[in-house]
Structure 1
Amino acid sequence: MISLEDFFDRIQYQIKNKLPYTIYKKADENVLHSILQNDNKLYRVKNYSESGFIFSLFDNERINPIIIPLSNAKPFSTFFIPSEAYDKSAMIINEPFHFPLRKVDYMELLNKALNEIKTGDMQKVVVSRTEKVDLKEDSIITIFKKLANTYTGAFVYLWYHPKVGTWMGATPETLFKINDSEFNTMALAGTQPFQGSMEVEWGEKEIMEQQLVVDDIVNKLNSEEFNLQISSRYTVRAGNILHLRTDIKGTLPDSNLNIGELVNSLHPTPAVCGLPAEEAKKFILKNEGYNRKYYTGYLGELNIPDFKIKNEDDLLLDEIENEELDESTNKKSDLYVNLRCMEIVGHKAVLYVGGGITKDSDAEKEWEETVNKTKVMKKVLF
């Protein structure tokens, strides 16, 4: 078990030497994980049998995800206790002035999406935008610590590769989790601001939008072999935002199922692309007017050996290299949708934000929704 100070000293070594690394913390856990690559080579997933941390583009049809492979990296873990007991996510921040042109452009995109839905075959499309913010804090590690302290209920990460750049985020959405032959996924959609209570009313537009996501996932995985179990719809909180969520779990019919097949079935989800997926994706790539890059892609652990962490004396990931792993070692895959994220470019943070559009959407409200969503990242920047 390494100390928190030693943990971040090793990260600083990676930063100084421009070597790839990732730091991450899972929702409601008090453990920080890191995987530190030994060289600066850009590795890519070949067949999803590899072990490591993967990072995928939204539009991944022509290029496979990047991986920081355990075969050429050192994993470390340490305990991380949030330093402040109160919930920072409820804080009110002063919203900077939005340049009129930014809103005008996005409203034009929203209205174009609404028109396409009303006249074409799309039921839903997720359109997005970026917003640049000046960094007041030079230390990327300090920003990450603020993120981990603030959003304890999200998957929080910091990822860097010298040939790609630096990304950071706190995402509430799981693509899927696999443990042995069991898998879990979720349908997350619908948005309204958190105003002090989880007991809220949801409109028909938000309920329909979320049900579209549920139906799409179930249709893609609909087989008696999967033994699907579907929860009731319920409200969850992600910082200053509320969403509707349904949990879906099942059993893989073949323990040797190629994870890539499951990825291709679920990505991109209706929550980040739309329905039908092919038409929605075409609309996005043609009309958004910028490259999403890794926003609304997926990231996380791929085939990581399952070591239980119960207390400071237990085996941690930093001891993997001393363990003899064989084919019987249970491995887990935890993949997340890259939402509520930002890209660090020089002394600026590029925030990525979007929302789902259906026939009942109101363009002005959709704009305000993106404004609320940017506050997730702005809370750790201002």
Structure 2
Amino acid sequence: MGAKPLILSIENIFRTAIAQNRAVAVWRLPQTQEVQVCVSLQDNLHNSQPQLEQSSFGFLFCPFQESGEHQNNFIKADVHFNAATEVLSYATDAPATALKDFQEAHSSPGIGKAEWHTPSTFSDQKQQTEAGFVTAVERAIETIAAGAMEKVVLSRNAREQLTPSFSPLAAFEAIEQAYPRALVSLVSVPGTGTWMGASPEILVSINQEQVFHTVALAGTQPAVANVADAIWRQKEIEEQGMVERYILSCFKKLRLRDYTEVGPRTIVAGNLMHLRTDFKVDLKEVDFPTLGTDMLALLHPTSAVCGLPKEPALQFILAHEGYDRSYYSGYLGPVGSDTGTHLFVNLRCMEILQHDVMLYAGAGITGDSNPQKEWQETQHKMQTMRQILSNFK
């Protein structure tokens, strides 16, 4: 990339991308200070199963289940801005005409009426009622008791109205300040729509030292002042253990034996606590050049957002959840960057529509689940985004 320093704002670039009908992603990795933005000037944003090791620099935004309606989006970094260094750079292979148009438009931001992209097809989904969710959980417990599956993750949606003062970039800034340990993101893609959130869950990460990293993250309860005082029920410990065992089964399929495992330990994510186990592989010592791509294909959707075994759990979700997850519990993050590839599960998120937003949250159901407590867990998880929206009342 040829870089030229300019004092700019993320808002300037974001607004220009929307006005030019281009895909744009804004993000900040956990425990870093660098907010970055990239804009794709490509006409085709869609790709099949991502090949991480061969990928050019950009941002992946992929659904829970790939389909004709919900496709894998790759926002290639034809335009990239690092707010920490105030350096704007352009990919050497960026389309020349589109780049010239973008550069001209970006000197006069605010063109166009839209403030963010909205989905081209959005069914007017009903909000899931408490009774409907509880019934689905009860059916799941019965199915687990019958031996058809061990665990299933059931989710729900909820609609909240936007106020006229809402700004996606101001909301991003509020999330970024509130959740330093999460991947914080704002993604806006023509036809696909606009999503933002703060995800604590690493799916696949390969850093600049060539260390592969994934986590087993499960079990949820409200955060306490002292993490050492956290008390976990058998249900949550077993739920987290299932996710651990699934990751280990993926390693076994790939005949990978050299890895480190640390955990489970309690971690705090905003107003919630989870159990987390970290798995790492040093690719400088293990000859496995496609581990990132291979593990991504095996892991997604993980048992933390789908269930175990994967296929019966997925079929149960499709039959009983009662709505389309779309990009909720898919995955997203930068790939091929200077700091490596860092994909996270799309959790603690909201979909921004024209006049309102859809919130999404799920809960892991096992044989020991209590339907009312699972509903309460989704309420706690939705508070992450509700607190952000409360800034615009």
Q: TM-score range by the shorter chain?
A: 0.7 to 0.9
- Note the alpha carbon deviations across 1:87-127, whole angstroms, 9 max, x for none: xxxxxxxxxxxx99711111111111111111132110000
Change (3 A) 1:267 1:101: closer
Aligned amino acid, residue 134 of structure 1: Q
Tell me whether 1:282 sits opposite 2:282 in the alignment: no
Q: Which whole-Å CA distance do the structure 2 matches of 1:208 and 1:47 have between them?
A: 32
Could you tell me which residue of structure 1 aligns to residue 233 of structure 2? 203
Q: Offset at 1:147?
A: 1.2
Could you tell me which residue of structure 1 aligns to residue 193 of structure 2? 165
> TM-score when scaled to structure 2?
0.80
Q: Which whole-Å CA distance do the structure 1 matches of 2:240 and 2:288 have between them?
A: 30
Could you tell me which residue of structure 2 aligns to residue 350 of structure 1? 358
Could you tell me which residue of structure 2 aligns to residue 59 of structure 1? 65
Could you tell me which residue of structure 1 aligns to residue 346 of structure 2? 338
Q: Which whole-Å CA distance do the structure 1 matches of 2:364 and 2:315 have between them?
A: 15
Conserved in 1, the CA contact under 8 Å of 2:212 and 2:292?
no
- Note the alpha carbon deviations across 1:197-229, whole angstroms, 9 max, x for none: 312111111101101111110121136644111
Could you tell me which residue of structure 2 aligns to residue 145 of structure 1? 173
Change (3 A) 1:135 1:203: same
Matches within 5 A, 1:320-339: 332-339=340-347
SS class of match (2:303): coil
Q: Which whole-Å CA distance do the structure 1 matches of 2:24 and 2:378 have between them?
A: 30
Matches within 5 A, 1:196-345: 196-198=225-227, 199-222=229-252, 225-252=256-283, 253-257=286-290, 259-306=292-339, 332-345=340-353
Q: Offset at 1:181?
A: 4.3
- Amino-acid identity (%): 35
Q: Offset at 1:40?
A: 5.3
Which of 3, 14, 18 is the aligned partner of 1:15? Answer: 18
Tell me whether 1:119 sits opposite 2:126 in the alignment: no
Conserved in 1, the CA contact under 8 Å of 2:162 and 2:357?
yes
- Note the alpha carbon deviations across 1:301-336, whole angstroms, 9 max, x for none: 222244xxxxxxxxxxxxxxxxxxxxxxxxx21110
Conserved in 2, the CA contact under 8 Å of 1:43 and 1:69?
no
Which of 144, 153, 157 is the aligned partner of 1:130? Answer: 157
User: Which stretch shows the higher mean deviation, 222-231 or 292-301?
Assistant: 222-231
> TM-score when scaled to structure 1?
0.83
Aligned amino acid, residue 186 of structure 1: V
Conserved in 2, the CA contact under 8 Å of 1:138 and 1:347?
no
Conserved in 2, the CA contact under 8 Å of 1:117 and 1:124?
yes
Q: Offset at 1:260?
A: 3.1
Number of equivalent positions: 336
- Note the alpha carbon deviations across 1:238-289, whole angstroms, 9 max, x for none: 1111100011111444453164322111111111111001111111111111
Change (3 A) 1:13 1:342: same
Conserved in 1, the CA contact under 8 Å of 2:39 and 2:76?
no
**Alignment RMSD:** 2.2
Q: Which whole-Å CA distance do the structure 1 matches of 2:287 and 2:26 have between them?
A: 32
Could you tell me which residue of structure 1 aligns to residue 216 of structure 2? 187
Q: Which whole-Å CA distance do the structure 1 matches of 2:50 and 2:159 have between them?
A: 36
Change (3 A) 1:364 1:263: same
Structure 2: which 5+ residue stretches go unaligned?
Answer: 86-125
Aligned amino acid, residue 280 of structure 1: A
Could you tell me which residue of structure 1 aligns to residue 116 of structure 2? none
Q: Which whole-Å CA distance do the structure 2 matches of 1:181 and 1:68 have between them?
A: 23
